[in-house]
Amino acid sequence: MDSTEGNYVYVILGEEIILIDTGRPKNGEGILNDLKSLNINPKDVKHILITHNDFDHIGSLAFLEQATGAKIWASKEDIPVICGENHEGIKRIIKYIVKVKKPENINAYPEDLKIGDIKVIPTPGHTRGHVSLLYKDIMFIGDLFRTPKGKITSMMSFSNWNNQIIKESIAKIDEYDFEWICPAHGEPIKRDGHLKDFIKKISD
Ligand SMILES: [Zn+2]
């Protein structure tokens, strides 16, 4: 959505209206305005799907939960941090700098990994429980990697929980059929061949 440029929140207008991530704290009003400009009433949003537990993805979760009444979903690995447990490593410091309100209710992704017409694909690495979300021919990759100026680029390695596992996760989404890649950071890009070459590059 426009108000979250560079740190994107996406809205899916499928069988049900679904939000992917919620941006930073204080992004909530802007997101509601964007929905309004699409003629979407906040109460029409049925689900909010979280790709992972970083503050720039869950920052406005509590606000949007209140405003929409949507059902909130995240991976069982990432839920404890969303609910206030400490991050591991350097990210634990951010918690003291950026205050994030906790949601009232949060659900772990179901066993069948399906929410409406979206498939949830576990892609750990950036965080333990990071997921990517496949809708039709679009893969929403959260922070699996980023695409500044349309170029596939690794996330800063210090911000990743496990750099080796990220490579495995990228190889995993490479098995799926999709045409578009929508990252949180960078711009949506058209898939150009396989992601194998990129994985090789980050292996060097
Ligand atoms: Zn992020």
From first to last of the 204 residues of the chain, give the pLDDT tens digit: 889 988 999 999 998 999 999 999 999 999 999 999 999 999 999 999 999 999 999 999 999 999 999 999 999 999 999 998 777 766 766 666 677 899 999 999 999 999 999 999 999 999 999 999 999 999 999 999 999 999 999 999 889 999 999 999 999 999 999 999 999 999 999 998 788 888 888 865
Residues with a beta carbon under 5 angstroms from ion ligand 1: 54, 56, 143, 184
**pLDDT tens across 66-78, in order?**
999 999 999 999 9
Closest alpha carbon to 185 in 24, 35, 71: 24
Backbone angles phi, psi at 54, to 5 degrees: -75, 155
Residue 202 has a pLDDT of 81
Q: How many domains does the chain have?
A: 1
Q: Coil, strand or helix: which one is 87?
A: coil
pTM: 0.94
**What is the distance in A from the centroid of ligand 1 to the CA of 115?**
22
Backbone angles phi, psi at 8, to 5 degrees: -70, 140
Q: What CATH number is associated with residue 40?
A: 3.60.15.10
**What is the distance in A from the centroid of ligand 1 to the CA of 53?**
9
C-alpha dihedral, 172 to 2 to 114 to 192, nearest 10°: -30
**What is the distance in A from the centroid of ligand 1 to the CA of 24?**
9
Residue 99 has a pLDDT of 79
190: domain range?
Answer: 2-203
Residue 126 has a pLDDT of 96
* Beta strands 45-49 and 71-74, pairing class: parallel
Residue 96 has a pLDDT of 65
Backbone angles phi, psi at 118, to 5 degrees: -110, 140
Closest alpha carbon to 188 in 144, 155, 157, 147: 147
**What is the distance in A from the centroid of ligand 1 to the CA of 144?**
9
**What is the distance in A from the centroid of ligand 1 to the CA of 164?**
19
**What is the distance in A from the centroid of ligand 1 to the CA of 58?**
9
